[in-house]
Each structure stands twice: as structure tokens, then as C-alpha cells.
Structure 1
Amino acid sequence: MDVLQLEQANDKGQLRIIYKHCTLEGAGTGRTIVLKDEKGSTLKKWTFTNAGGSDLSMSIPVSELLQLEKNNAGHDLSLRYTARELPKGETLAFLRVK
């Protein structure tokens, strides 16, 4: 599993996530990215419109992630993707919080 390290990230940037379902011709519907702590509690949820055309990306402001890291120092955090086609979700990355 990948560890997302934001120490060098531009706080004005965007984290772009593209998730393609293997059973679909592209993106899922009802897509969300959720930031959870090690207890499984939801810290933040981003909801995305259904993708149309060739742009399947979901963008999260890096400044939001940095603030959430700061507010949850000492906790293990993870980014999870869910969609109607993947209701149980999948962990995309962990955030290393010191």
C-alpha cells in the first residue's frame, strides 16, 4: 500500500485521483473519497459527480489534506474510495502523520 507524503507538496495544489473499475468501461457512480483514522472514524468525506467523457479524475485540495494531517497528528490516516459499484470501498493510500 502506498504512503502519501505531503511534506513537499504545494499547498495550493490538487491531489488528483483516477480510479477505473475493472468491470466497467471507466469510472463508477456515486463516487466518494473518505479520510479515516485508525479506528475507522470518518474525518472528511469528498463527494464527486459521475464522470463523463475522458476526465475520470477526482480532485482534493492539498491544503485540506495538510490541515487534516495537522489536526490529527499522531494518528494513522487512510484515504478510501467508494462507489455504488464498490460499496465496501478500497483503501487507496495511507497518510504518514507525525
Structure 2
Amino acid sequence: PGVAALSLRVYENTLVQQTESELIAQSVVLAAAYKAAWYDVAHAPQPDPSSRPLAPEAPAIDLRTMPVLPRAPGGVRAGAADPHALQVAARL
């Protein structure tokens, strides 16, 4: 039973790390698509290539060393959306 429990814990940690890696990769793709759509809708010049590039973060979750945090507090309703952002969101 002890070996099985340890194996399940290692497997659980591996699944969480793989999920985190996939979410990071998906967020980078979505951010790049949003950035491209933002400049395309505005017909604005592309940003300076020397500006900070989109780079994914390395996965950092480790269930063995990190505590489970409590539920986050409720969000605060934002004001009216930027019309340009609404156009970009519709295209995406």
C-alpha cells in the first residue's frame, strides 16, 4: 500500500506539471494571436521587433513543496470594454 500511495502521488504531480505546461503553451499561442489581431484591426504599425518578445514561463508547480492555496476572492466588475478590444475579441 505504501508503494502504491507513493506511486500515485508521483503520478499526480506529473499530471499537474504536464497540465501546467500545456496551459502555458496555449496561453502563449493565444497571446500571439491576440497581439497579431490587435495590430491588424487597428491598421497600426507593428511594434518594434526589439520590444519584449512573448516567451513562455517554465512550469513551477510542485505538489510536494507547494501548499494548496485557498479559493481566490471574487472578482470586481470592470467598467466598459475598450471598443478596439471588442473588435479584436470578435475576430478571435
TM-score by length of 2: 0.26
**Greater relative contact order: 1 or 2 (C-alpha under 8 angstroms, separation 6 or more)?**
2
Greater Rg by CA: 2
TM-score by length of 1: 0.25
